[in-house]
Amino acid sequence: MNEIIFSAVNLNKTYKQNDGRFGIREIKALENVSLHLRSGSTLAIVGESGSGKSTLARCLLQLLPLDSGVVYFEGKNLIGLDKKELRQIRRYLQMVFQDPFASLNPRLKVGQIVGEGLVIHGLGSASEQQSKVIRMLERVGLEESDMEKYPHEFSGGQRQRIGIARALVLSPKVVVCDEPVSALDVSIQAQILLLLKELQSEMNLSYLFISHDLRVVRHIADEVAVMFQGKIVEQGQVVDIYNNPNNEYTKNLLKAIPGNRVAY
């Protein structure tokens, strides 16, 4: 077993919502969520919409403030870091987003989008950055000439490749994939999953893979955590969970896979 590279302990997050008449209604998006990601492996978080998966992704990367809990990356607590330290460490923690149409700035060229991380962290000279961007684009299946194009000139699948290139050009260690294929056609889904898997072994990436689709998860994950109403209800190796679910909710989720008629 590899060492744990990224972990979260007892995360809590509550959304406060004004309910109109009498003050504030509280919605628990995360309740005592803990998880551990091993270096080079993939941990999938599954659950229905509204179960808190995306909130979890954003809280883990410190894009949303947590109410309580601790997040460790390589033994370092991310919660106590000041803004500047956090920005520097972000280089190693990247994210691939769900919606390939909303995740790329429509006013920047692809070259600028993919190269932005290198510019921010001042990695290499301008020409080194350029060649790095080109190599990354070619690796994800795009061409050098695409650098001068704008995101709207690409299809959903290609845009997702751009999003992957943007995240991976920094050679991160942990990549949070927030439903990276759920907005894509099934045929494209397979290509993107394959690409993610190849890149994982090439670059020794650790994935936190968020999905509602158990078929996708079975392909890509080593471990699974099942989320329901802000809590992790079951956690374990993919094989164990798929063959031997303990929790009622997990059983229901598995039953809901189209074409899966096995009775649990």
Partner 1 sequence: MNLNLIKKSLSNPLALIGFLIILFIFFVAIFAPLLSTYDPDAIDVKAILLPPSFEHLMGTDGLGRDVFSRMLYGARISLLVGFVAVGISTFIGILLGAISGFYRGWIDIVIMRMVDVMLSIPTFFLILAVIAFLSPSILNIMIVIGLTSWMGVTRLVRAEFLSLRDREFVLGAQTLGANDLRLIFIHLLPNSLTPIIVSSVLGVASAVLVESGLSFLGLGVQPPQASWGNILTDGKEYIQFAWWLSFFPGLAILITVLGYNLFGEGLRDALDPRKAK
Residues 6+ apart with CB under 8 A from 240: none
Pick 175 or 232: Cβ nearer partner 1: 175
Beta carbon nearer to partner 1, 166 or 212? 166
Taking the least distance from each CB to partner 1, the nearer of 97 and 228 is 97
Residues 63-79: b if buried by 16+ CB within 10 A, e if exposed: ebebeebebbbeeeebe
CB of 92 to partner 1, least distance (A): 10
CB of 74 to partner 1, least distance (A): 16
What letters, b where the CB count within 10 A reaches 16 and e where it falls short, cover 29-62? bbbebebebbbbbbbbbbbeeebbbbbbbbbbbb
Least distance in Å: CB of 22 to partner 1? 22
Helix H segments across 140-213? Answer: 156-168, 186-203
| Distance of alpha carbon 154 from alpha carbon 104, whole angstroms | 11
Q: How far is the CB of 157 from partner 1 (least distance, A)?
A: 17
| List of residues contacting partner 1 (CB under 8 A) | 58, 61, 63, 83, 87-88, 90-91, 93-95, 97-99, 102-108, 116-117, 120-121, 163, 166-167, 170
Residue 241 token pair: 């969970």
Tell me whether residue 76 or residue 87 sits nearer to partner 1 (CB atom): 87
* Between 80 and 106, CB nearer to partner 1: 106
Burial (CB count <10 Å: 0-12, 13-18, 19+), residue 136: buried
Closest approach of partner 1 to the CB of residue 15, in Å: 13
